[in-house]
Structure 1
Amino acid sequence: MVIIFMAAYNAENTIRRAIDSILMQTYDDYVFYMLDNASEDGTASILEEYAKQDNRLYVLTNIINRKGWNSISFVKFAKERYKNIDYYCTLDSDDEYEPDFIERMLDFMRKNSLDISACGSDFCNSHTKQSMGQRKVKQNLLLKGQGFSEYFTQYHQFMRTVWGKIYSFDVLWKCNFDKCFTVNYGADTLFAMEAFHNAERVGILAETLHKYYVSPNSGSYKFDNRRIVSDHILDDTARTFLIDKCGFISPKNEEFLLAIYFNSIKDTLNVLLNAQIDTTDKLIGLYDIFSCEHTQHLLRCGGYVGEIKQLIEIIVYWILKQNECRKLEGAQIATKIIFSINLELSQFIASESLECLLQKMPEAVIDLIKKDYNRVLEQLKNWFERHDADITVLSKLEIDLYHALNKTDDELFALLTEIRKRRPCSSTELNIDDLIHEIIARHPIIAYISADLAVALSQTILWVLKENFSRALNEFIEVSQELEVADNDAESYILLGQNLSAASDNAKAYIYFKKIWISYLLDCFRNEEALKEIAEFGQLLQNDEDFFELRKRLGKKCLEVEHE
């Protein structure tokens, strides 16, 4: 005997079609239980009307709507009531079976010693009744042993739904359906997957004996807090199914599972973004989707690159349109979302920088995600010029992007100099002097100078970093005419003049700065160093008046020391 179950809620417009499709079955050894799940329309009276006409029909009634009362609950109910049931099937209250559905399915089961048989479905528009497509296999498919792995990509679609199948009650007795109550949608999938898990032999009939009417009011198109978790549970269960059933997940099946999960989160994202809930709740939902290990695994695997990129762009554009993301709390959540979908970005950009960017110049975020960092830098530069602002986190973003682009030392030095001159808060908080030191320390010719002197001689330093020492010397000499050098930088300043002269092979300039250097040594009473320098150059420039005067000064210094 076959036991058939149908749950109905406010289905007065479709339920006659469903019941009639059962009554017209060519196989008549069945009982048909119809549940009125606390309907508020004429559903209950229609069920009673049919039950009076046929003693195989029974009406069950829920006083309150129990959305979770479905095949899982009914199977438990049937186990307690019946001892002689052979088979079970179910039907939605707005669908229908072909008249020979039960007969054909049972014949298929018996001929092939099946525990479960499934058939194809026609998907129809609930309003126009026109076909929207089919779910079917090209030829009959028999599953056993490793066939559950080999043909997984073909039969998985038939595990997504509980209807369109005949189940042996011997298999259902073995099933543990507790997990089905952990999801808010997809319980049918978990039911079918648990049944397939306990079946030794399953067959898919290459016929469409079922009509499914697609309705936008379906729970699959509604959002609640458990939907995201449901996607995770369904993915985990499918993976566990393959491992338990076959011992492994083949590369082909792994790729297929990723495709299934990708499509599931696309559907969930669509439902989430169109849900009538607060923007903040939508942002939290987006973060939950993209930050979970399931989605992270999908992103790491690199499959469906084009489709994922397109999906991410849609999400980011949506985020940028939300006024909530112009506020700190919204920007913080949005930043977590963006970092979740772009792990590389999170590795070199501070969260505070992205939060500020979202609030002040969201148009730059798209370019940031597209890795058009030069474009982002251009936008930052224009923004700073327009606002004459000093925002540390945006200054840090500029520096981080320079590093990401592997900008040269001269380019980075120019930026740091700009920040130090025009943005005092950023300069202090970001320790710009230390960053400048890191750059000049890599170049021996300027490694000893202070950040103050480097900034004061910024154009000279830029030419040094570009290794154009002649231009650097010319710039140095030109600037020196008006530059006031601090006492603690005087020595570095003079040595720089000497080193630039030597690097550019300018003997005249080198001698000029050497004379200044000796004079400086004398002023500082560093007589021994001055004597050494004069002795070295005196022989070369015996008739030079400046050196003659330097010798005289040195002599006086030495006498002063002796007198003391």
Structure 2
Amino acid sequence: MISIIVPVYNSASTLPNCIESLLTQTYPDFEILLIDDGSKDTSSSLCDMYMSQDSRIRTFHKVNGGVSSARNLGIKQAKGEYITFCDADDSFEPDALSFFYNTISQYNPDIIRTSYKKKFASGKQEEVKSDALYTITDKEQVFVITEKNNYYGFLWNSCFKAQLVKKHLLDESISWCEDHIYSAECMADANLVIISPKITYIYNCNDIQELGHGNNLSQSMMDYKKVISIALKEKDIKMKIYKSNNEVITYANKAFESKMWIALYFSFYSSDFFAPLKIIAKYFNYNLKVLYNTWKFYIHNKYRKYIITLSHMKHIDLHFLFLCYSTVAQATM
């Protein structure tokens, strides 16, 4: 049996489509665990309604604790030999579980990682696929091929052997990139990983969820210190995998730098006037170009409603304003 864990929080508008995609799977031997994480909308009653209609569904209600605590409860309660995940605003392809079952029967892997389809609010679609089917026992290769194919650390395009995931629990103190850290821990402990070009998952996202596309990254405010802590923890786990393949270092550094840019961005919202320069000094080797470009992004987001006005005031020079900021900050640090 395959267990599907679905964390639910205020998802009444998307949950029916998610659950229907699971109930209509071509492979029948599964259970769905709906983990209601203290929803304030009608999600809770929807979970109970679906449970009453299908014996394969079990619902658990808990005090709100975040997606990690919801997934942990699901992992502890799961009865299947394998466990997979689905977010309440996404869906499975109809033959997703059939593919997992066939792959399990053929290889008995610890982890299966598959391709996925991104569907944007604008109507745009994008497929994220590996270039081939890989059966990997080398831990360094697992990490490198995962990164090369843009699979990263998502849980929802993966199926895990239950005895593996039950050895690890997600860090409930974080709710951003918690899946990346957890996946890295599981991959480091896996003996056989299958990476497949088969699409099993449909990931619904707004265009603005793609970093660099859209301009309201600031709507989801994060503590830059927490982002730094997460980046350091993830890099430490990945570097423990390293033995001789230098690509591990390359991809670990790339992921780290990406998260540090996010930390830099949110540091501009901090009450610590010097925070951005401290990050540039410690993690970007005093790269003022990175600092300037990030500062411009921050200014554009925070003061977007004034941008049109500013654009018509020719005496307003962002380069000059930035120079003033950086000069004062460095002089007073």
TM-score class normalised by the smaller sequence: 0.7 to 0.9
Contact preservation (8 Å) 2:117, 2:199: yes
> Which amino acid letter does the alignment assign opposite residue 202 of structure 1?
V
From 268, 279, 282, give the equivalent of 1:289: 279
Report the CA distance between 1:108 and its aligned residue: 1.5
Contact preservation (8 Å) 1:228, 1:288: no
- Counterpart in the other structure of 1:422: none
Alignment of 1:364-403 (within 5 A): none
- Say yes or no: does 1:266 pair with 2:261: yes
Report the CA distance between 1:325 and its aligned residue: 4.8
Contact preservation (8 Å) 1:228, 1:289: no
Alignment of 1:77-476 (within 5 A): 77-78=77-78, 82=79, 85-125=80-120, 127-131=121-125, 133-145=126-138, 148-150=139-141, 152-156=143-147, 157-173=150-166, 175-177=167-169, 180-181=171-172, 183-215=174-206, 221-224=220-223, 225-240=225-240, 242-243=241-242, 248-273=243-268, 277=269, 280-281=271-272, 283-287=273-277, 289-292=279-282, 295=283, 299=285, 310-315=289-294, 321=321, 325=325, 331=328, 334-335=329-330, 354-355=331-332
> Which amino acid letter does the alignment assign opposite residue 38 of structure 1?
G
CA–CA distance in 2 between the matches of 1:323 and 1:313?
Answer: 9
Higher relative contact order structure (alpha carbons within 8 Å, sequence separation ≥ 6):
2
Report the CA distance between 1:253 and its aligned residue: 2.5
| Structure with greater helix percent | 1
Q: How large is the Cα RMSD of the aligned pairs?
A: 3.1
CA offsets 1:286-318 (integer angstroms, 9 cap, x no match): 2453354xx25xx49xxxxxxx66423324667
Give the secondary structure class of the aligned counterpart of 2:151.
helix
* Structure 2 unaligned spans of 5+: 210-216, 300-318
Q: Closer, same or farther in 2 for the Cα pair 1:226/1:153, shift >3 Å?
A: same
- Counterpart in the other structure of 1:19: 19
CA–CA distance in 1 between the matches of 2:190 and 2:253?
Answer: 25
> Which amino acid letter does the alignment assign opposite residue 40 of structure 2?
E
- Counterpart in the other structure of 2:310: none
Give the secondary structure class of the aligned counterpart of 1:177.
coil
CA–CA distance in 2 between the matches of 1:113 and 1:219?
Answer: 43
CA–CA distance in 1 between the matches of 2:75 and 2:218?
Answer: 22
Give the secondary structure class of the aligned counterpart of 1:89.
strand
Report the CA distance between 1:231 and its aligned residue: 1.4
CA–CA distance in 1 between the matches of 2:117 and 2:111?
Answer: 20
CA–CA distance in 2 between the matches of 1:5 and 1:219?
Answer: 30
Q: Closer, same or farther in 2 for the Cα pair 1:86/1:220, shift >3 Å?
A: farther
Equivalent pairs, count: 301
Alignment of 1:516-531 (within 5 A): none
Report the CA distance between 1:150 and its aligned residue: 3.8
CA–CA distance in 2 between the matches of 1:188 and 1:60?
Answer: 21
CA–CA distance in 1 between the matches of 2:205 and 2:10?
Answer: 16
Contact preservation (8 Å) 1:183, 1:229: no
> Which amino acid letter does the alignment assign opposite residue 163 of structure 2?
D
Contact preservation (8 Å) 2:280, 2:291: no
> Which amino acid letter does the alignment assign opposite residue 280 of structure 2?
F
- Counterpart in the other structure of 1:35: 35
- Counterpart in the other structure of 2:311: none
Contact preservation (8 Å) 1:105, 1:118: no
Report the CA distance between 1:268 and its aligned residue: 3.5
- Counterpart in the other structure of 2:303: none
Report the CA distance between 1:171 and its aligned residue: 1.9
Contact preservation (8 Å) 2:10, 2:41: yes
Contact preservation (8 Å) 1:3, 1:88: yes
- Counterpart in the other structure of 2:302: none
Contact preservation (8 Å) 1:159, 1:193: no
TM-score (norm 2): 0.79
Q: Closer, same or farther in 2 for the Cα pair 1:134/1:220, shift >3 Å?
A: farther
- Counterpart in the other structure of 1:520: none
Contact preservation (8 Å) 1:117, 1:204: yes
TM-score (norm 1): 0.48
CA–CA distance in 1 between the matches of 2:18 and 2:180?
Answer: 21
Q: Closer, same or farther in 2 for the Cα pair 1:151/1:118, shift >3 Å?
A: closer
CA–CA distance in 1 between the matches of 2:218 and 2:161?
Answer: 28
Give the secondary structure class of the aligned counterpart of 2:88.
coil
- Counterpart in the other structure of 1:4: 4
| Structure with greater strand percent | 2
Report the CA distance between 1:118 and its aligned residue: 1.3
Report the CA distance between 1:211 and its aligned residue: 0.8
> Which amino acid letter does the alignment assign opposite residue 43 of structure 1?
S
CA offsets 1:458-498 (integer angstroms, 9 cap, x no match): xxxxxxxxxxxxxxxxxxxxxxxxxxxxxxxxxxxxxxxxx
Larger radius of gyration: 1
- Counterpart in the other structure of 2:58: 58
